[in-house]
Amino acid sequence: MNKESDLANASNAAERFFRLYRSHCVSPDLDTLFSFLEAAHSLNDRLQIANELDFFDVPEFSALKCLRNFFHHHQELRHVVRLVPAGGYPIVTDLMTLCLVSSDIVERAVDETRGRHKEETRLACGVVFHWYGTVVNINPALFNLWCPLTSA
């Protein structure tokens, strides 16, 4: 492939990423979440080829990629994630929807992360996810992921 083709692929991947981000924000469901995680993974791959960019220095990306890999290879997302409107619960959140994953699922996903990014991923998950005992709200990381990407 040539540079022009690589840039077109990256552009298409970015468009898909933002379309799925919008879908998750406007009408979230389990399919849009997994598709969004896949699109973030794909966008990183395409940008590495087109512009030699790598989002592993973005904590939200590291944390969400860890979950994407776990859901992709080990666990069906549909049975372990719940999308919950925040209203009416005794919880403080800055977003209207919680995207809850069991904390032991997040811990297993981190433990199964291999290579040089494992410790960074563990730290990122601790910072960018909101931990509430046995559940983890991943929605803040989903919401904030695109911010550093727009300046890349």
Say which range, 18-22, 29-33, 88-92, 136-140, has the weakest mean pLDDT.
Answer: 88-92
pLDDT at position 83, please?
63
Residue 69: which of 30, 102, 110, 29 has the closest Cα?
110
Model confidence over 68-89: pLDDT tens digits?
A: 999 888 866 555 566 666 666 6
pLDDT at position 66, please?
93
- Assign 29 a pLDDT band (cuts: 50, 70, 90): confident
Written as six digits, the tokens of 70 are 């776990």
Q: What is the pTM of this model?
A: 0.83
User: Percent of the chain at pLDDT above 70?
Assistant: 80
**SS3 at position 89:** coil
Residue 89: which of 128, 135, 125, 141 has the closest Cα?
135
106 burial via Cβ count (<10 Å: 0-12, 13-18, 19+): buried
Rounded CA gap, 11 and 20, in Å? 14
Model confidence over 85-135: pLDDT tens digits?
A: 666 665 656 666 788 889 999 999 999 998 888 999 999 999 999 998 999
Q: Which residue has the higher pLDDT, 49 or 117?
A: 49
Q: Which residue has the higher pLDDT, 91 or 15?
A: 15
Q: Which residue has the higher pLDDT, 84 or 3?
A: 3
Number of domains in the chain: 1
Q: Does the pLDDT at position 51 exceed 90?
A: no
150 burial via Cβ count (<10 Å: 0-12, 13-18, 19+): exposed
Report which listed range, 2-6, 24-28, 101-105, is most confident: 101-105
pLDDT at position 126, please?
96
* Domain residue limits at 20: 3-150
